[in-house]
């Protein structure tokens, strides 16, 4: 009975006043590489460049029929634009609550569509609580991003289109998962009409709330301190109650992918479409690649829902850097070679004709008798070539593979040469600052003059969080006070003092 009810909602959903039926396109380059028929469902071609317009409009259309004066929601992303556009189309007022760290480009996008923007809190949870309070105070209807049956039904129209557009065999549909609304809608419809088609959800490794929920057979809440926000459109600490209730009945498998794989998938989408998907938008493509790598080529077609293309231009540099690692094309190694003339030439001969993407070294006269430490990026053709190169180099030199080391990839590769021999008690910390004016000043003000900063590196990646690496000189009695200070400031942080990249190049 429950399945019939959601199918009826999907069939009754009305979205095409603002949404378009997006094409289902063959991805020729990726299909050839994977020896499978890969199809992209191009939700990046919607008016707001995201599938979110479907669910938002279907919900707000029904609310308008009930005579509500307006709507409110909490979102800093695609849902915010969907709500703003839908409300404008239906002649309702819209209020969008966003966190204070929301990039200005996202604030402007919703504002241009006529919504009132309220900045409140530092996290989505704080913004959502405030939005719920505003709904009561102003007599507005709250439109949840994913945990609502009418929103889910609107997203389910994607499943209707896929089955109408491709009548041949489909092995699986790969669906990006955040709060679960998209996979609940698409999965319910496809499972009802084509039960032989696998429904495979894809999540980022650091925000796999649906994977954890299915394993536990109940919704779980991921710790904020470990939540990976790179794929911000799907970085949800807990899936929705309604979406989990529906999705758990139709999901065949969950796949998790890492940041490098997501970035490589952004490049794959670009190669076949010349469109730059946002990280969450390319999540399903990364999932297809991981699935084929583990299970082999697909028998029927594999559909990957490219869910959005709202990517900040500033993020492209970071995505491009990580895309090479996602294809195992570039590996990042820390290598110790003799500190003597001719060593570089011998080392280069061991690498052979492979392309070197970067080579970082600085002579340290104070330790000339010790080995030279080189940070080198090398292009490889595939995973086996990567392993063979490391085996070959290790037969001649001490080698540390730093390809998956966040400190090395985000920071150290840009800092090599900055060693210090006169610092006592240095501890290395990695931070995520809110990317907003005054965040650094707030940190330094709280730090005061008690703790000496010995090293600092920051790069803007176009995300809502600034990635910072800092050295702090701590005397023996300072560590407890510093830990308390870090807990009080609320910025996510990790102690990286034992990180091998730090020990090799900065300590």
Q: How far is CA 317 from CA 78, 91, 331, 414, 461, in A?
A: 22, 40, 18, 14, 7
Work out whether the CA dihedral 408, 414, 416, 418 comes out positive or negative.
negative
Give SS3 for 114: coil
d(CA 500, CA 248): 41
From 86, 307, 325, 403, active-site residue = 307
Is position 66 annotated as part of the catalytic site?
no
Contact 95, 140 (CB under 8 A): yes
Contact 418, 439 (CB under 8 A): no
Is position 52 annotated as part of the catalytic site?
yes
Work out whether the CA dihedral 168, 18, 128, 126 comes out positive or negative.
positive
Contact 383, 438 (CB under 8 A): no
Regarding beta strands 253-257 and 198-204, do their DSSP bridges make them parallel or antiparallel, or are they unpaired?
A: parallel
Helices 439-447 & 479-489, crossing angle to 10 degrees? 150
Largest CA distance in the chain: 81
From 31, 36, 37, 52, active-site residue = 52
Cβ neighbours around 421 below 10 Å, total: 8
Give SS3 for 40: strand
d(CA 160, CA 7): 10
Q: How far is CA 401 from CA 65, 347, 353, 396, in A?
A: 60, 16, 20, 15
Which residue, among 183, 235, 230, 180, has the nearest Cα to 210 in the 3D structure?
A: 180
CA 260, chain centre distance (Å): 10
Positions annotated as catalytic residues are: 52, 307
């Amino acid at each position: 009975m429950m399945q019939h009810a959601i199918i009826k909602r999907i069939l009754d959903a009305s979205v095409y006043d603002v949404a378009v039926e997006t094409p289902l396109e063959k991805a020729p380059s990726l299909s050839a590489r994977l020896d499978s028929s890969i199809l992209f469902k191009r939700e990046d071609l919607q008016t707001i460049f995201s599938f979110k317009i479907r669910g938002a409009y279907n919900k707000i259309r029904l609310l308008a029929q009930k005579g509500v004066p307006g709507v409110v929601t909490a979102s800093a992303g695609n849902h915010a634009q969907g709500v703003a556009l839908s409300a404008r189309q239906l002649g309702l007022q819209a209020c969008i609550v966003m966190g204070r760290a929301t990039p200005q480009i996202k604030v402007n996008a919703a504002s241009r569509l006529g919504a009132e923007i309220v900045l409140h809190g530092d996290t989505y949870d704080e913004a959502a609580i405030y939005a719920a309070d505003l709904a009561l105070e102003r007599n507005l209807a709250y439109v949840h991003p994913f945990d609502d049956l009418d929103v889910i039904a609107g997203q389910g129209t994607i499943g209707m289109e896929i089955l109408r557009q491709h009548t041949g065999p489909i092995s699986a549909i790969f669906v990006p998962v955040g709060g679960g609304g998209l996979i609940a809608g698409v999965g319910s419809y496809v499972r009802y009409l084509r039960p032989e088609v696998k429904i495979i959800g894809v999540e980022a490794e650091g925000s796999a709330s649906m994977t954890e929920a299915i394993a536990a057979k109940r919704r779980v809440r991921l710790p904020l301190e470990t939540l990976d926000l790179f794929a911000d459109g799907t970085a949800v600490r807990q899936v929705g109650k309604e979406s989990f209730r529906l999705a758990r009945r139709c999901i065949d498998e969950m796949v998790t992918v890492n940041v490098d794989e997501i970035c490589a998938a952004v490049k794959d989408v670009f190669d076949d479409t010349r469109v730059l998907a946002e990280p969450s938008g390319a999540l399903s493509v990364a999932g297809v690649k991981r699935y084929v790598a583990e299970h082999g080529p697909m028998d029927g077609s594999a559909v990957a829902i490219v869910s959005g293309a709202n990517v900040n231009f500033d993020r492209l540099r970071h995505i491009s850097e990580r895309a090479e690692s996602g294809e195992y094309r570039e590996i990042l190694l820390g290598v110790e070679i003799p500190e003597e003339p001719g060593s570089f030439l011998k080392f280069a001969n061991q690498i052979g004709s492979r392309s070197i993407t970067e080579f970082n070294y600085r002579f340290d006269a104070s330790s000339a008798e010790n080995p030279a430490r080189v940070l080198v990026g090398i292009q490889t053709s595939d995973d086996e070539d990567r392993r063979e190169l490391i085996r070959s180099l290790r037969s001649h030199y001490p080698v540390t593979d730093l390809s998956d080391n966040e400190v090395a990839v985000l920071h150290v590769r840009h800092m090599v040469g900055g060693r210090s021999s006169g610092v006592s008690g240095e501890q290395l910390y990695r931070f995520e600052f809110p990317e907003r004016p005054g965040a650094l000043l707030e940190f330094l003000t709280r730090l005061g003059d008690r703790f000496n900063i010995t090293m600092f590196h920051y790069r803007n990646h176009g995300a809502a969080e600034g990635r910072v690496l800092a050295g702090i000189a701590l005397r023996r009695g300072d560590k407890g006070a510093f830990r308390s200070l870090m807990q009080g400031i609320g910025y996510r942080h990790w102690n990286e003092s034992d990180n091998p990249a730090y020990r090799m190049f900065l300590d």
